[in-house]
Structure 1
């Protein structure tokens, strides 16, 4: 979106005040939201394995979603995206190689070779993908095409709810090709659609910033009505080639809260609907549940406390069993305080075959 700013009013006020000396004023764009740590992670930061957080089963460094690899292994190295069996074995055996963490999503990594350091395209660790059941690769889907087509941006977007900080775009890559009148066109289109998502039908009049206007063809200069579609931030992020969008946990939870209040999550009748509405970060759980023929969970469930107030929020719930899956540790703690058993995705996937027998559909009904 292009902003047109005029300072004529400010200059007139300065002239009226008649200062003894007029200062120089220059307007220049400066990227201010990229912290030093983000810049370090973008190029790769040397760390010790013990400093990488693995609480959620994913890998993070000081709140940033990261990948990890060993630079000395050269172009044959595999990069890691989860606390897989390989990393667990490294810790158990006290291996202290030179680990590098990065949040660069280009898929290229700086590695060591016989000719010094060079950039190389590395393959993702298969054990990591199995650990997360990414795209169902542990419960039915072939892992080979998932590895071959693995895209770091898509992966980071899938798990954006797990991290308070996501990779920032630099000023050089933040350019857009929207038309100059895009802000007006987008605003008018959302009004025409009654601030309602054309994908999931959630009405966002009270939260207008969560409703975007999507170019169906991907051509941002084509503003014809048949190429536009009003989408909530959750649905927008799930569109093809929109892996640059990383909705926060709070935004996804708010969208599902509004969907719930508007009756859009009532009686989800099949797995496709559950997948469509659930946070993508719990899709690995859903693949496992579907394969094991578990009962359909409720999505975006709010647990009431003893006073009838909202006591906790969970991404997936089986209310009759007081059992659920949540992303935030705070949500897990709150739910357990309400007498529920709630697991994170890592805990669920490590024991779903043994610990959730009561979730199976009775009499082989789906």
Structure 2
């Protein structure tokens, strides 16, 4: 006759543990972490504003009179930026071989520009922030129109205004001018963004119970009954009977029946609630073919 394996008997396992002959295995290590959503403000450079700056620094932009403003009384500005203004379509005195033109460029709201406005010819101007001293021009005296970069001198009326205010310097160059007088701050767009992060937290009693039951796959550490469908039948047991000692070595996950068999826990058997739960555990063991009262 084949004898039952006593090592699978619930009562014997409970007895061996109670006598200190067998030890309950250590709980799996658990990290108490939670996912949190953090909101923060991020600044992005305005794409259109960046495109304007890039175009001004490399080429020129046609403008009308309403788009050019004057700052500090004299300086020409376009959308908040210091600029130089010039006529691109020219009809005389262009020497592409020497890369020179007799036309002038402007930095100030000088007498010449005011005269051009009075006669309605200010639409001919383009603005730029090129610092190399060259300007793209079109020679309209030839067919097809010839295009190229040439040097031009600063308008004498602009020079006079700057000299009077002691802001002209020699030798004069546009790179130094823009560095000194253009204090434009690029526009930014503010957006509220969310990011999810994993953070550790200080667990409470319910957290220990929940996470360690999950780590044990909802099985009792003595009888191995599976309580995944009745998780309330699994308890968090404190070996030293001190509920505030939640060190992992002091904790075990036990079904209500095995819990009631632990030292100093016999009072559970006098509680009708626990007695009903113990009866339910015994039924679950039968369904799971876990031996009880070894036969």
TM, length-normalised to structure 2: 0.38
**Larger RCO (CA under 8 A, 6+ residues apart):** 2
TM, length-normalised to structure 1: 0.31
Q: Which protein is richer in strand relative to its size?
A: 2
